[in-house]
Amino acid sequence: MTEAELNRYNRHIRLPQIGLAGQQRLNRARVALVGAGGLGCPVAQYLTAAGVGTLGIIDGDNVAESNLQRQILFSPEHIGQNKADVAARLLTRQNPHIQVVVHPFFLDAGNILNTLSQYDLVIDGSDNFATRYLVNDACVLLNKPLVFGSIYQFEGQVSVFNYQDGPTYRCLYPEPSDLEACGEVGVLGVLPGITGCLMANETIKLITGVGDVLSGTLLTFNALSCSFQRFSLTADPANKLIQSLSDHVAVCAQVVPAVSVPELDVATLLDWLNSPVPPLLIDVRRADEHARDNLGGQLIPLDVLQQNPEQVPTNQPVVVYCQSGGRSRQAVQFLGQRGYTNVTNLIGGLNAVRKLSRN
């Protein structure tokens, strides 16, 4: 390290847990950042300041005026320019001692393995489920740790996936959620900054070996109550058996099936459950998911239901649910095609119920 670098990183080096050896690990690290948006901006800025030697920024999107409320790396003069290009220019000015590699494109099954294989670890700051599943599956295939973060309105989530024998993103979300991306809903401007700093913190810990990383733990932050919560995650070995990248398109396509099915929202369900003739609840998730949290009723995993639909009664109303509404819609559609007229899908699934109860 040069004298200028030693002076620049002096406060890191003074920390006995990091020291010169830890700073050298940071300088040698090669980190891929997927997305230079709300989460990617603070992650990139803090890792640049920390001296991560090579930072690859992957984003095919251009800066838009609506981004400026939360993507504070950008200014009005950058509108219309590629985010990865702009970020690289600004970050290189911030720290000329590091290398910023520009990947000005969106990831897909054809380019992701070659792109991510160049790096030691991956940070996912994307804002859509198709990319998250794709990045997760690629990291499993490449055996690379994945720092995950997401934001929704006033809540942020952070975890570390595919680290040693820990869980993957699919262990947290076996199926896509019905929640919309930040482009479709509002988000508090400071939230990605808070969440992104937590992601950068996990990245630095992974590189330097300091502290306990959030593997097997989901950390959530609620900006309205200014509170943190930690949830334990269990690794499902089946999620490490990915053989190809083709499945992510199919699983994300299941969020909005082409065929409409009878549905109801959480408020309607709660009223119905308190009525003189409540419906039978059927959970079509896996047994381990049901054991962690459920709404009661009967457990019939989707694959079992598809093999033996006669388990579903025809003489009473039935509401089918899963974690976020995808599998249950499949189940209701499947049953409807076989003549069932008494089954209804719960929109948003268990996630929607728990979200309402928190509010």
Q: Quick check: 269 and 295 in contact, CB under 8 A?
A: no
Contacts of 154 (CB under 8 A, 6+ apart): 188, 191, 222, 223, 224
Q: What sections of the chain are H helices per DSSP? A: 3-8, 10-13, 19-28, 40-50, 83-94, 112-116, 129-142, 169-172, 191-208, 247-253, 266-273, 287-292, 302-307, 326-336, 349-358
Amino acid of residue 118: Q
The C-alpha R_g of the chain, in whole angstroms, comes to 22
Q: Quick check: 318 and 336 in contact, CB under 8 A?
A: no
Tell me whether residue 171 is one of the annotated catalytic residues.
no
* Residue among 182, 197, 226, 252 flagged as catalytic: 182
Query: Would you state the structure tokens that stand for residue 19, as one six-digit string?
Result: 């020291």
Rounded distance between C-alpha atoms, residue 157 and residue 263, angstroms:
28
Rounded distance between C-alpha atoms, residue 83 and residue 35, angstroms:
9
Strands in 227-232's sheet, in edge-to-edge order, are 99-103, 54-58, 30-34, 121-124, 146-152, 155-161, 217-222, 227-232
Q: What is the largest CA-CA distance in the chain?
A: 80
Tell me whether residue 322 is one of the annotated catalytic residues.
yes
Report the half-sphere exposure of 275 (CA within 13 A, side-chain side).
12
- Residues designated as active site: 182, 322
